[in-house]
Amino acid sequence: MHKITTTLAILIFFSMGASAQQRIVLIEQFTNSGCPPCATSTPTILNYVDANPSDVVAIAYHTSFPYNDSMYFENPVQSTTRTNFYSVSGVPYSVVDGNYYSSSSSVFAGSMASVINTRKAMPAQYNISESSNSITGNILNSQITFSSLLASNVNDSLRAFVVVIEKTVLKSAYAASPGANSETQYEYVMRRMITTDSGTSLQNRNIAGSDIFNINWTLSKIKDINEVRVVGFVQNKNTKEVYQAVMFTPTVTAGIGEDLLFTAIDVYPNPADEKVFIQIRDPEFRGNIELTDITGRIIYSTIISGGSKVEINTTEISDGMYLIHCTNGEKSTTKKLIIR
C-alpha cells in the first residue's frame, strides 16, 4: 500500500493587482461502470468537457450502486462521502457547480451547453493558480493558491478542495473487467481528494487574501502516470455553491528510483504496418507482455526478460488502436499502439 503524505501551508498576502479568472464550471459526474445508462450518458457529458476545456472541468465519482465497480472499490470512502453530500440515489447523475444545477445525466445532456454557457458568464469569486505541479518518480508535488476576489467571501464558510483525477482509465488496464457495461474507457476518474473529502477551510477570505496548499502525495491506484490531473475548486460548505474550479496537468519527470515500467519500454515503429518491436532496456527486468484490443481481448502474450526484444507480426491484425500491457510483479503500465 502506498503511503500518503499531505502537507498544507497557509500564508497570507495582499495583492490589489490580482486579476480575475474567467469562471470555469465544475461538473461532478456520478457514474458506475456496470450500469448500461451510464455507458450512454456519462461519455456524452465528459466528451463535452473534453471539447471545452476553457469553460468546464469534471470529476467523475464511481458509485457502489447499482453494480460492482472497481474504481469505486479503489477509493470507496471518499466516493461515498461525495455521493452522500449531494444525496445521489441513482446514476448517471450530474451536478453543476454544487447548487447551480443537478439532474439525471440523460436530462442534463439535452440542456448542457445552455447550462454551462449561462453559468460561465457569471463572475468567478476566486482565483485558483499553480506555482508548481510535477510528478517525480511516483510522487506528486503541487503548490496550489486560492485567492479571494470578493470582500463578501469573508462572510462565507468556504472549503478548498484539491483532487487528483485520472483523465482516462482504460478498461483493459484491469486484470478483470472493472464493470460490465459497454464502456471501454472511463474519464476524469476521482483517485484521491487530497484535502480530504470534506475539503479544508479557507482562512484568508478577505479580498486579495490567499491560502497556499503544498501537496506531497504518493501515487496510488493510478493506471497511467501520464493521465494524472489535479483539480482545485472552492465550495461554500453551507450552500454547496462552487465558486471556481481549475484543472492542472503535472509535468512528469524522471527521478532516482523511478519505476522502470514507465520509462524503459520501447515500442516501435508506432504506428506499425507489418511488424512491431517491444524492447525492455532494463537488464534486470522480467515480466509479462500482452497485446490487446480496446475491449481487452488478448491478441498476443509472452514473457520477456530485460535487454531482450519481442517482434510481433501485425499483418494479420486489423487496423486500429491496440494496447500493450507490461506487468512486473504487482506493477503494470500500458502503452498505446496504432496498427494501420
Grid coordinates belonging to 323: 494496447
* Residues contacting residue 116 through CB under 8 Å, at least 6 positions apart: 25, 48, 52, 55, 56, 96
Buried b (16+ CB within 10 A) or exposed e, 49-69: beebeebbbbbbbbbebebeb
Residue 96: how many other CB atoms lie within 10 Å? 20
Grid coordinates belonging to 134: 510535477
Q: DSSP label at 308?
A: -
Q: pTM of the predicted model, to two decimals?
A: 0.74
pLDDT by residue for the chain (340 residues), tens only, comes to 333 333 333 333 333 334 568 999 999 999 999 999 999 999 999 999 999 999 999 999 999 999 999 999 999 999 999 999 999 999 999 999 999 999 999 999 999 999 999 999 999 999 999 998 999 878 899 999 999 999 999 999 999 999 999 999 999 888 778 999 999 999 999 999 999 999 999 999 999 999 999 999 999 889 888 899 999 999 999 999 999 999 999 998 755 444 545 456 788 898 888 999 998 877 777 788 889 887 778 899 998 887 788 999 999 999 888 888 887 765 667 788 889 8
Integer angstrom CA distances of residue 163 from 166, 183, 236, 330: 10, 24, 16, 25
Strand order, beta sheet including 309-313: 265-268, 275-280, 309-313
306/282 Cα distance (integer angstroms) = 5
Grid coordinates belonging to 82: 461525495
214/56 Cα distance (integer angstroms) = 24
Domains by residue range for the chain, with CATH: 25-253 (2.60.40.10), 260-339 (2.60.40.3080)
